[in-house]
Amino acid sequence: MTDSDAGVTVVDAVDAYLQRKAVGDPDGPGAGTYASNAESILRRWADWLEVEHDVRSLFALEVEHMRSYADELRARADRGEYAASTAGTYYAVVRAFLSWCVRGGILETNPAATDAAESALPTAEERPDSEFWTAGQRRRLETHVRERALEATAEPGDRDERCNRLREYAMVAVLAHSGVRGSELFRVPDDERRTGATWDDVDFYTGTIRVLGKSQRMEDVPLPAPARTPLRRYRVVLDPPSNDWPLFPTRHAPSIARRVREVLAERGHDEARIESLLEERTASRLARDRSIAPPAITTEGARSVLKRLCAAADVDVDGDYLTPRGVGGDGEDGDDYRREATDASPALRASVLERTLAVPEDRPVVIDVDSSTRDDRADDG
């Protein structure tokens, strides 16, 4: 190995790969879009290599490192932070990058494309049965949250409680009746692109929601009436100050306060003024008054909410609560009913709805939250 070869770092190679993809190359159509989609995955992988294995040089990369990366993805899937399919996608992006290095003569072999490394990856078949919702279980939970929401709406009282119950109803309805995955709907803390869906992403006219799909492209997903109606009712009570407000804001006070401090500082307020404002009212109230969109609830926070609701509705599977997995009728996550988002006219976007099919009553329904954090665990998000 020459001195110049030793100086080729993983980061430098990733930069060259992304630059090449950004302008397009002979690998196929859509290369430019692929670059932006792959960037966050590859940069997190490069950081992980350096932190966990002190690997900076591309030529120091070995099969055992990729085996370790696959083990890391599997561990995250076992903890419920990633779906098995998400872990597979992350690994595939890294493997594709290393294959490009081989084709370009930078590497002799691809350490990721080996049985020894890939055998450590999780598979969809290994997910526990308790992650799957049957139609009957879904109906029981949905009935429970709907009745709670109707009770709060019918009786004048605490607005916050009414909003909270409608929030829970909307959350369950959207997960149960649309093809939206948890990682598309809620915030994934270790993925800067997945910040949670906002009201700007929802088009009630066409009945769709625009999300960052597992393909790493923006996609329009149908919102059938059973999901759309509870979401609309919830919006009326939530009354978000702006469309960049998340559909499901976190209720974790420290997270909201941190966001408020950051935004006020960006707006030119000094620390003393910020603390003075926070002494006068809660962070949540200040965020609303100053139109500072709070963070969305995390996937872990959503999981905590679902756990509590399932316990209250007496819905379980062999003594375990139902984890929130993305609805996919036959386990395919409803991909057949999605389309890549474009700037097309509302009429064209509405055509997505024509492809929406009802889930047969005897088929399992799956609700997917495929990443997590602990930020929202204290108060269910």
Extract the tokens encoding 78: 């076992």
How many residues belong to the chain? 381
Mean per-residue pLDDT for 212-226? Answer: 83
Where does 3-126 sit in CATH, by number? 1.10.150
pLDDT tens, position by position, 36-75: 668 888 999 999 999 999 999 999 999 999 999 999 999 8
Whether pLDDT at 380 is above 80: no
For the chain, give percent helix, strand, coil, nearest 5.
55, 10, 35
DSSP character at residue 281: S
Which of 291, 118, 276, 306 is CA-nearest to residue 199?
A: 291
What is the C-alpha to C-alpha distance for residues 205 and 314, in angstroms, rounded to an integer? Answer: 36
DSSP E strand boundaries for the chain: 132-133, 202-203, 208-212, 218-222, 339-340, 365-366
CB hemisphere CA count around 20 (13 angstroms): 14
- Spell out the domain ranges in the chain: 3-126, 130-252+295-379
pLDDT tens digits, residue range 66-118? 999 999 999 888 877 777 777 888 898 899 899 999 998 899 999 998 888 98
What confidence tier does 338 reach under pLDDT thresholds 50, 70, 90?
A: low
Q: Which two tokens stand for residue 365?
A: 């329904």
**Which pLDDT belongs to residue 377?**
46
Q: pTM of the prediction?
A: 0.59
Res 272: pLDDT:
93
Fold of the CATH domain 130-252+295-379: hpI Integrase; Chain A (1.10.443)
Residue 240's identity, in one-letter code, is P
Residue 365, pLDDT above cutoff 50:
no
* Residues 72, 66 contacting (CB under 8 angstroms): no
Q: Report pLDDT digits (tens) over 238-254.
A: 999 999 999 999 999 99
